Structure 1
Amino acid sequence: MVRSHSTSRSRRSLLAGVAAAGALGVAGCSRVATASGVRGGDLLARLRAQGVVRLGIAGEIPFGYIDTDGRLTGEAPELAKVVFQRLGVPEVQPVPTEFGSLIPGLNSQQFDVVAAGMYVNPERCEQVLFADPDYQMLDAFIVRKGNPMGLRDYRDVVEKKARFATGTGYAEIDYAVGAGYEESDILIVPDQVAGLNAVEAGRVDVFAGTAITAREVVKKSAKAEATKPFAPLVDGKPHVDGGAFAFRRDETRLRDAFNAELRKLKRSGELLRVLRPFGFTEAEMTDMTAKELCRP
Structure 2
Amino acid sequence: MAPPHGMAEHISGPTRRSLLAGVAALGALGAAGCSRVATASTANGGDLLERLKAQGVVRLGIAGEIPFGYIDKDGELTGEAPELAKAVFKRLGVDRVQPVPTEFGSLIPGLKSQQFDVVSAGMYINPERCEQVIFSDPDYQMLDAFIVRKGNPKGLHNYKDIVEKKARFATGTGYAEIQYAVEAGYKESEILIVQDQVAGLNAVEAGRVDVFAGTALTTREVVKKSAKTESTKPFAPLVKGKPHVDGGGFAFRTGETKLRDAFNVELAKMKKSGELFRILAPFGFTKAEMTDMTAKELCGG
TM-score (normalizing by structure 1): 0.91
1:215 to 220, 228, 245: 220
Residue 154 in structure 1 maps to residue 127 in structure 2? no
Shift of 1:119: 1.3
CA 1:47–1:139: 2 relative to 1, 3 Å = same
Q: Pick from 90, 93, 98: which aligns with 2:98?
A: 93
Matched, 1:21 2:21: no
Quick check: 1:58 aligned with 2:45? no
Q: For the residues of structure 2 that align with 1:231 and 1:95, how far apart are their CA atoms? A: 32
Amino acid at match of 1:63: F
Q: CA RMSD in A?
A: 2.0
Match of 1:230 among 235, 240, 250: 235
What is the CA–CA distance in structure 1 between the aligned matches of 2:3 and 2:248, rounded to whole Å? 11
In the alignment, does 2:208 pair up with 1:203?
yes
In the TM superposition, 1:185-200 aligns within 5 A as 185-200=190-205
1:133 Cα offset (Å): 0.5
Q: 2:133 aligns with which of 128, 133, 154?
A: 128
Which range moved further: 53-62 or 166-175? 166-175
What's the counterpart of residue 44 of structure 1? Answer: 49
Report if aligned partners of 1:27, 1:96 keep a CA contact under 8 Å in 2: no
* Aligned pairs, number: 288
Q: Hey, what does 2:7 align to over in structure 1?
A: none
Is 1:10–1:99's contact at 8 Å kept on the other side of the alignment? Answer: no
CA distance in 2, matches of 1:106, 1:189: 23
| 1: CA distance, partners of 2:113 / 2:30 | 16
- 2:112 is matched with 107
In 2, Cα distance between equivalents of 1:97 and 1:203: 27
Unpaired runs of 5+ residues, structure 1, are 1-7
Deviations 1:177-206 (A, max 9, x none): 211222233232222112212222223221
Q: Give the C-alpha shift of residue 37 in structure 1.
A: 5.3
- Assess if the C-alpha contact under 8 Å between 1:9 and 1:171 holds in 2: no
Please give the residue correspondences for 1:153-192 in structure 2 after superposition, counting only pairs within 5 Å.
Answer: 153-192=158-197
Q: In the alignment, residue 163 of structure 2 is paired with which amino acid?
A: V
Q: What amino acid does structure 2 have at the position aligned with 1:146? A: G
Question: How far is 1:9 from its partner?
Answer: 4.8
Distance 1:132-1:270 versus aligned 2 partners, 3 A rule: same
Distance in 2 (CA, whole Å) between partners of 1:189 and 1:201 is 14
How far off is 1:250 after superposition?
1.5
SS in 2 for 1:209: strand
What residue is the counterpart of 2:76 in the other structure? 71
Point out the structure with the larger helix share: 2
The CA deviation string for residues 36-87 of structure 1, in whole angstroms up to 9 with x for no partner, is 2541211111211221111111121111111221111111100000001111
Unmatched tracts of structure 2, length 5 or more: 5-9
Q: Deviations over 1:197-241 (max 9, x none)?
A: 222222322111111110000112212110111011111111111
